[in-house]
Amino acid sequence: MSTVPENEPVQATWSSVAERETVIVEDSDRNAGLCRCPGCPTTDDCMSGRDGRLYCSRGQTDCDPSGRGCLCSDCAVSAENRLGGRYFCMEGAAH
Quick: pLDDT tens for 59-72. Answer: 999 999 999 999 99
Please state the rounded mean pLDDT for residues 5-14: 39
Asked whether the predicted pLDDT for residue 42 surpasses 50, the reply is yes
**pLDDT band for position 23 (50/70/90)?**
low
DSSP string over 73-84: GG-HHHHHTT--
For the chain, the domains span: 17-91
Reduce the DSSP state of residue 33 to 3 states and report it: helix
Please state the rounded mean pLDDT for residues 60-87: 94
Please list, in sequence order, all residues whose beta carbon lies within 8 angstroms of the beta carbon of residue 91, skipping any fewer than 6 positions away. 60, 85
pLDDT at 20 (0 to 100): 46
Q: Has this prediction a pTM greater than 0.85?
A: no
How many Å apart are CA 77 and CA 93, to the nearest integer?
Answer: 13
Quick: pLDDT tens for 43-59. Answer: 999 998 888 999 999 99
